[in-house]
Amino acid sequence: MNSWFSVDCNKTTADSPSSVFLSSINTEVLEISLEGSLVRVNSPVISAGCSGRGSNIAINMTGSRFAFSSSNRFAAMGCNNRASLTHIKPEIVGCTSTCDANNLTSSSTGGKGSCYCSGNNCCQTTIPSNLQVFNASLETTGYPNDQGTNQCKVAFIVERNWSLDNIKSPGAVQHLQHVPAILKWFVYNDDIPEGEQNSDAMKCSPPLRLITSRWGLSTVTLYSNSITCSCNPGYNGNPYLLDGCTGMIRARLI
């Protein structure tokens, strides 16, 4: 398999569980979905004016086989916080969270379809297709002496379903270093050994759609010429590994 997909297992102590990292983009892996060509990872929280937090860490996947899935949202929290994605010029993507003290109630009690993050102390918006770079600028709206100037502000890209379930108040995220996000990964013909793409055990085919987008630091074509693979009926395993589909079920005639 291509080295883009290599993972490293790290242990901080002998008794601690191992953490799995995608070595090509130095990002911690939480879960992998072969069927959807998706990987859930820890995405950093960018902050400004927050005490007790370390340096901000951005994500740059330019030129790699990974991009943020459209199932994520860009969210920002804090008082009068204008948050914008950076390094995506000429496009502008961002949102502004206000701090109306008279409107701090959460609508999350209305069920999963409603959400606290609707503008007051928290805002969210969709992200560009095939986004490969994440960094954010955080600014206070209005005049320098306005409310929120010296208060903690954060921004992050997060899996949409997680945000609906977990964003109850600004304080719920301000002390987190990471939140879960979904990456889409892309495989090409050269990644699969010759003769393996279409065999008795597995098959590979192009995606249903071709998309070319300009995001990040360069123009990237991710879907074009990419393929998805699966084990044929009667076989199980990982079709992206050499001889990864095994266990044919043979029919018996009675």
Q: What is the pLDDT of residue 90?
A: 82
Q: What is the pLDDT of residue 103?
A: 46
Radius of gyration of the chain (CA): 21
Mean pLDDT of the region 150-157: 88
Residue given tokens 């860490």 in the structure block: 57
Q: What is the pLDDT of residue 135?
A: 93
46, 156 Cβ separation under 8 angstroms: yes
Of 92-101, 125-134, 192-201, least confident by mean pLDDT is 192-201
| Sign of the dihedral defined by the CA atoms of residues 210, 215, 219, 222, in that order | negative
* Structure confidence by residue, pLDDT tens digits, 199-222: 888 888 876 554 444 444 333 456
Structure tokens at 192: 């699969």
Structure tokens at 196: 């393996």
Residue type present at position 253: L
Residue 10 DSSP SS3: strand
pLDDT confidence band for 86 (50 / 70 / 90): very high
Angle at 95 between CA 89 and CA 96, to 5 degrees: 130
Residue given tokens 């892996």 in the structure block: 29
DSSP 43-91: EEPEEES-TT------EE-TTSSEEE-TTEEEEEESTTEEEEE-S-TT-
- Residue 121 confidence (pLDDT) above 70: yes
Residue type present at position 1: M
Of 72-81, 177-186, 204-213, least confident by mean pLDDT is 204-213
106, 120 Cβ separation under 8 angstroms: no
Structure tokens at 144: 């320098």
